[in-house]
Structure formats: C-alpha cells, structure tokens
Amino acid sequence: MAVNAMPLRRAKISRYWQNFGFWNIVTFGAFALLLFFLVYPLLAVFGQSLNSKTGDLLEGYRKFFSQPYYSNSLTNSLLVSIPATIGSLLIGVPLAYIVTRYSIPGRALIRSAVVITLLSPPFIGAYAWVVMLGRAGLVNKFLENFGAQVPSIYGPVGLTFVFTITHYPFVFLVVSSAIRSIDQSIEDAARNLGSNEIKTLFTVILPILLPSITAGVLLSFMTIVADFGTPMILGESFRVLPTHIYSEFINEMGGNPTMASAMSVILIALCLLALALQRYFAFKTSYNAQCVRPLEMRQPHGVTGALMIIFAGLVIFVSLLPIIVIFVSSFSIGRGSIVTSSLSLGNYERVLYNVTAAITNSFTLATISAAIDVLLAMLIAYVLVRGKTRWGGLLDSLVALPNAIPGTVIAVGFIIVFNQPPLLLTGTWMILVVSYVVRRLPYAVRACVAMLQQIDSSIEEASVNLGVPPMRTFVRVVVPLMAPAILAGGVMTWVTAISELSSTILLYYGPFSTMTVKIFSNVFTNEFGTASALEMILITATFVPLFLMYRFLGERAEQAL
C-alpha cells in the first residue's frame, strides 16, 4: 500500500487536468455567457421597471394596472392569444392524427407544408394576408366590384386568424411525434378488451397524448404572445404587449422606459409561466418509453375519409396561400395595389441593386450566429449529457430560458446594459449576433442533447481504450456521430436567425439593417412589390437549407425541430 500511494495520487491529479479541466472551462464559459448575455440584461430590465422619480418602486406596475392605456395591451394580448391557441389546438391535433395514421394522398407534401409554415417568419404570413384582404387587397378589390365586403383583416379578429394559421404547426409537430411513439400493441390491447375504434381513440390514444398536446399548446401560446411582427402589421391601433413595449421604448417624445420595462417584465412572466408548464408536461411524457411497432396506417374510407382529406387539404391550402401570393406579387409592377396584368423582374432588380447590404448582412449574421451556436451547443450538450458538472440541472434550465424570452424584451435589456462602456455593443453588428446566438441556443443544444443521449458512452471508452486520449476521442468519435444533430441545429439557428425581426428591429443600426428590417419598412411604406421580392429571397434562403437537411437526415430532421 505504501509503495503505490504515490502513483495513485499522481494519477488522480493528472486525470483531473486531462479530462475534467477542459469541461470545467466549458461549464464555466457557458454559465458566464448565459449570465452575462441573458440573465444580466433581464435583471437590468427588471431593475429599470422599478426605477421611479417619486421613490415608489412599484409605481410602474401600479400605473400599468390602473391605466387602461397600458393594461389594455395585456388584455388585448390575452384576447387574441387564447383564442388563437385554442384554434391551433383544434387544427393541430386532428391534422396530426389524420396525417400520422391515415394514408391520405400527399402526406409528405402536408408535412413539408407544415414545416414551411412553422419556419417562415409569421409576419410574412401577416403581410400576405394584408395583400389579399387588406384595404387595397386583391380579394377586397375583386369583391368590391360586386358590392360585397369582407371582414377586416386588421384588428383582433384578423390577428387571431393569422396567429392560428401560423402557429398550429407547433401543436402538429409535438403531437405527431408523440403519436409515432405509441406502440400498436396498446391499441390492440384496447380493441381486444372490447373498445371500438372511436372509444379507443378517446379512452386510450388521446389520454396518452394529453401531456404532449398540452406541451404543444403551451409552446404555441408562448410564441403567439411573444410575436411582434404580426401585431405590428395587423394590429394598427389594437396594441398588444410586444408592440406596445416597442413603441414605448423607441418613442423619443413621451416614451417611458420605466413603463416599457414594466410591460416587459409582465410579458416575461406570462411566457415563463407557459414555459414552466410546458417543461412540466414535456417531462411527464417520458412514460411512453419504448415503441417497437408504431401504430398501423389506415386507409381513409367513406364520408369520414372524405372529410379528413378535405380538412387536411383546406388547412394546407390556407397555410401555403401566403407564399403563393407573395410569389406572384414579387413579379408585379408598381407600388401599392398588386393587381396588374403584366409581370416583370423589376422588383428583384431594384432589391438586388438597392438593398444589397441588407441581404449580405442577413446572410453573414445568420452564418456567424449559426456557427457559434453549433460550437457552443456541441460542448454544452456534452457537459449536460455526460454529467461533466454537478451544476447540470441549473445549466439545463438556464439554456432553456431563452425560449421564454420574447425578442423585444431581450432587445430592451441589451440596449439598457450594452449601451455604455465597458461593453459598448449597441450600434455594432456584434449585438445582433449575440442576440441571435443566445436566443437560438436552446434549439441547437436540444438537437445535440437528443443525439448524444443515443450514443452509448462505451463507444468513447472503446476509443480511449484503443489509445486515443479523451479530447481527441471527442473530436474523432463524438463529433462525427453528432454530425446529424450539428447539421440540424445549425440549419435551425440559421433559418430562424435570418428571419428574425422582433429583436433586430430594436437593435439594428443603419448600415447593419437586415432583410427583415427592409421588408418591414417597405410594408409600412406600401412598397409591396419590393417587399415581396425580398420575402421571396428570404423564403428561398430558408427553404433551401431545410430541403437539403431533409434530404440528408430524412425523418431525423423533424426531431430536431
């Protein structure tokens, strides 16, 4: 014993440095990054909300709840978010069940259309509906010839409609992946015990899906309530929390930073509540552990079958209509109204000539952000899954936090905090990259975590056993095996960063404006043609990588969403 005391201690020390030193640095770095670029700005927002001249700390909140001018935006937010969430539930769940269980024609097309809807920026959908149903809209003009009127797309009703049609994909994707993890034997057992098809659906299948449905619905609520672009385009005088925060914050005359911050805190509270519930329900789904044989596909038949096909067809038609409209209007001539007979490439020429910088900026910023996110996600996922830190639980929650923080709020926080030395980031391109990196980190980390959980750690041990040191093993074995997740996470970050509006609109500075900012300002100046051309470029920029990802990864790609 005395003889070997020395080598043993030396072994412990050297191993500590070789294996754990690096991962400790990663853990420390991840915490530092999230604390500095996420928690600190949020605390600053909270701090500013308590700032008052009269010494009454809660003055801002008192004012919020007592003055309808402010409290109305909360009521308005709930007034459209709740019906829209219910709407996305009523579309998402049946569509998921139909597409996953019935071999209706065009299933692959439906799935792609849903993913396309999910990943196109919601304000593009909003804008397309303005093109169709707005004051100078195609449909309105057409119907005016007959003296007919369509309900206004502006205001709460239009908002609810557009939110529903742009957010049901959240419910759809969560629920359809849950359906695919139910084993056929569960249904067989229920049928064997005497339940008919309908009864089995309601007493067995839906109860099993309930946690996933709840999780999907809360996810949908969270993104609706945080959405900025759609209410900005369709809301007009109907103000919701994100748009009110924005106008309160940028308004140089009579704007009130304290009120903007107080409203931000209330918006975060709403989102955090939804996130907490969503994580709780997502955690509860873990009971459907193993699926050996997925549910069998059925043939749609009879009236029910026809209704299913009509329902699915209608949903997909309405989902894809905005893209078709934008495509057509991008070739139209002139400003304002869309209705012209001749088509041209003039809009594209104008766009490529006039806003070259914005297009380049969008691509560059998205690429840098995606690269940084993927690198961080890879390392953080490894720390989390392989238990390289005892702070794993805290880190896991902190990494998921950006999901619940609306872009508008994080932008407000960034402006408060990074507006002065030592870290003067406002007015640089870096502030945009930092905001994209932090906000999209959860996607990339989740993709890498899911992948890593499927890689048995004995594969790494085998490599070490064959003489390859732990760090080189990470590079030579773990990274190649994580490649699909890295690709999926990167594409997701890229796609969502390039179409980001809510924080960009507050954080951008003249020379660093992006495509989304240009689209947005063109919509407000009624330059629909150029806006549409830019949108087509944006849509193509989103679809091409997604399409390639699906080609490479197939079914696995959807899991990454």
Q: Which residues bind other proteins (CB under 8 A)?
A: 1, 3-4, 7-8, 10-12, 14-15, 18-19, 456, 458-459, 461-470, 472-473, 477, 480-481, 483
CB atoms within 10 A of CB 325: 22
Cβ neighbors of 332 (< 8 A, separation 6 or more) are 338, 340, 343, 344, 347, 528, 529, 532
Q: What is the DSSP string of 315-358?
A: HHHHHHHHHHHHHHHTT--SSS----S---SHHHHHHHHHSHHH
| Pick 105 or 469: Cβ nearer other proteins | 469
Number of other residues whose CB lies within 10 A of the CB of residue 375 = 14
User: For residues 141 and 476, which CB has a smaller minimum distance to other proteins in the complex?
Assistant: 476
Query: Closest distance between other proteins and the C-beta of residue 12, in Å?
Result: 6
Q: Which is nearer to other proteins, 10 or 335 (CB)?
A: 10
What SS3 class is residue 192?
helix
> CA of 240: how far to CAs of 123, 157, 446, in Å?
15, 13, 30
Closer residue to other proteins (CB): 299 or 458: 458
- CA nearest 445: which of 389, 495, 390, 378? 378
At its nearest, how many Å lie between other proteins and the CB of residue 1? Answer: 6
Please state the closest distance from residue 464 (CB atom) to other proteins, in A.
5
Is the distance from CB of 128 to CB of 326 less than 8 angstroms? yes
With respect to other proteins, which residue has the nearer C-beta, 422 or 467?
A: 467
- Least distance (Å) between residue 475 CB and other proteins: 12
Residue whose tokens read 């104008």: 350
Cis peptide before 422 (omega within 30 of 0): yes
Closest approach, Cβ 381 to other proteins, in A, equals 18
Nearer to other proteins, 1 or 108 (CB): 1
Distance CA 400, CA 396 (A): 6
Please report how close the Cβ of residue 184 comes to other proteins at its closest, in angstroms. Answer: 24
What is the spatial distance between Cα 52 and Cα 259, in angstroms, rounded to a whole number? 10
Whole-angstrom Cα distance, residue 363 to residue 497?
A: 9
Amino acid, res. 273: L
Task: Kindly state the DSSP code that residue 151 receives in the 8-state scheme.
Answer: -
Question: In the complex with other proteins, which residue's Cβ is closer, 14 or 75?
Answer: 14
The residue (of 61 and 382) whose beta carbon lies closer to other proteins is: 382
To other proteins, the closest distance from the beta carbon of 492 in angstroms equals 22
CB of 7 to other proteins, least distance (A): 4
Q: Which is nearer to other proteins, 375 or 468 (CB)?
A: 468
What element of type H or E holds 371?
Answer: helix 356-385
Question: Shortest approach of other proteins to residue 442 CB, angstroms?
Answer: 27
For 555, other C-beta atoms within 10 Å of its C-beta total 10
